[in-house]
Structure 1
Amino acid sequence: MSEEDRSRLYAWFREHTGEPLAEYLMSCLAPAPLSDLATKADLEQVDKRFEQVDKRFDRIDQRFDALLALREADRAEAAALREADRVERKEDLRSVKVHHYTVIGFIVALFVANLTFL
């Protein structure tokens, strides 16, 4: 039924039965053609589609969780590597200091030895 037909029918009901009854009668009629209204089968198809979408989102969530776990593992590994680098740099610094002091000592010894021979 078109909107124009609904309007004419409402006007006729209102004229012959009064406004409250016309309102009630119009509320009992479908607002659109019955073929346009959703059926239970339509709603079941929509529910199935939503279930499929939910499953896909669950798989995506699982992938994100796996990626987050990998990211945390990578962060932990990077932190361990940084700590190992710090320890190695400290050892290298100690080695450089020992070498530096050895060279300074050797130069001082040569200087002292040179003074004693003069």
Structure 2
Amino acid sequence: MSEQDRSRLYAWLREHADEPIAEYMMSCLPPAPLPDLVTKDFLTSELSRFATKDDLAKLDAKVVRLDAKVVQVDTKVDLLATQHKSDRDEDRRTNRVRHYWLAGIGVSTVVSVWLSAAGVIA
């Protein structure tokens, strides 16, 4: 039955009976053609395509495990960053010592050449 037919039937029922009876009669009729109504089997098959509570629980467990792995990786990254900083500090100290050694050798070479040129040492 089309929507237009339903409207005409409702108007006719209101004219020939009172409004509560017309509303009751209309509530007994399906709101759409029977082939267009959803059956339980169709609804069950459609809903089975979506996640169930078990699926969501499994997904939640995976998220918790992933969070734990992220925390482990963050801890490792922090440890590596600390090690890298200490290694850089040690490299700076070593380079400073090398610099002073090379500067000392250079200065001693320049002084010995200068003293040799001045005739102070032979």
TM-score by length of 1: 0.67
Q: Tell me the equivalent position of 2:121.
A: 117
Report sequence identity in percent. Answer: 40
Measured in 1, the distance between the counterparts of 2:79 and 2:109 equals 45
Unaligned runs of 5+ in 2: none
Provide the rounded CA distance (Å) in 2 between the counterparts of 1:104 and 1:12. 113
Number of aligned pairs?
A: 116
Determine which structure has the larger helix proportion and give its number.
1
Match of 2:91 in 1: 92
- State the one-letter code of the partner of 2:65: A
The equivalences for 1:1-118 within 5 A come to: 6=6, 9-31=9-31, 49=48, 53-114=52-113, 115=115, 116-117=120-121
Report the TM-score, using the length of structure 2 for normalisation: 0.66
Query: Matches of 2:112 and 2:4 in 1, distance apart?
Result: 121
**Cα distance between partner residues in 1 of 2:102 and 2:7:** 108
1:49-96 C-alpha deviation (Å, 9 max, x unpaired): 599612112211211221122122112211211110111111111111
Please report the RMSD computed on the Cα atoms of aligned residues, expressed in angstroms: 3.3
Distance 1:54 1:13 in 2: 48
Amino acid at match of 1:87: S
Partners of 1:90 and 1:11 lie apart in 2 by: 92
